[in-house]
Amino acid sequence: MVTVRNRGNFLSPKAFTLMELMIAALILALALVGLLGSYISCMQLTEIMRNTSIAMNAVQAKTEEIVEQSQRPLTEPHNFDTLKADFDQASFTPARLNGIGVSYVNDTNPNLLVITVSLSWRQSRGMVIGEDKNLNGQWDSGEDTLIVNNILDSPAEVVTYIAKR
C-alpha cells in the first residue's frame, strides 16, 4: 500500500485563510490605536500635573511674600491698608509657565484679611487651566464661571487668613 501525502492542499484545517489573516490584522490595528490613544492621554495628563505643580509653587511663593509683608516688626509701619494697596488685584507672572497669577485681598472684616492667590495658565495644546481665559490678569465678563465670586478661580489657588495683631 502506498501512502500519498497531500502537500499542496491550501484548504487544510491547519492553515489560515486570507480572510482570517485580515481580521486578525484589523484586531491588532485597533488594539494598537487604542494603546496609542491611551499613551497620548497619559502624556497630556502628565503635562497638566507638571504645570499644576509649577503653578502651586508659584502661588505658594506669592502667598508667602504677602504673609511676610504682614509680619513686619511692630517698629516698621505696615498695616492692612498698605497690604490691600500693594497686593489687591495685583498680577504676577510665574517662571517656567505660560500663565498669569492674581492676588486678592478681602478686608471686609476689620480684624482679618482674607488673601486669595490664584494662577491660570495655557497648556501646550492651547487649553487654558483656570478662569482667566485670555490670561490678562483681570476679571472680564464671562470668565468667572466656575464659582461666581468676582475672583479668577483656578485649580492652583491658595486662600490664607491674616489676623490683625
Query: For residue 47, is pLDDT > 90?
Result: yes
Three-class SS state of 19: helix
Count of C-beta atoms within a 10 Å radius of residue 123:
14
Q: Which pLDDT does position 83 carry in this prediction?
A: 83
Digit-coded pLDDT (tens) for 12-41: 567 788 999 999 999 999 999 999 999 999
Digit-coded pLDDT (tens) for 88-106: 999 999 988 999 999 999 9
Percent of the residues in the chain that have a pLDDT greater than 70, as a whole number: 83
Q: Could you tell me the pLDDT band of residue 135, with boundaries at 50, 70 and 90? A: confident
* Helix (H) or strand (E) run with residue 117 in it: strand 112-122
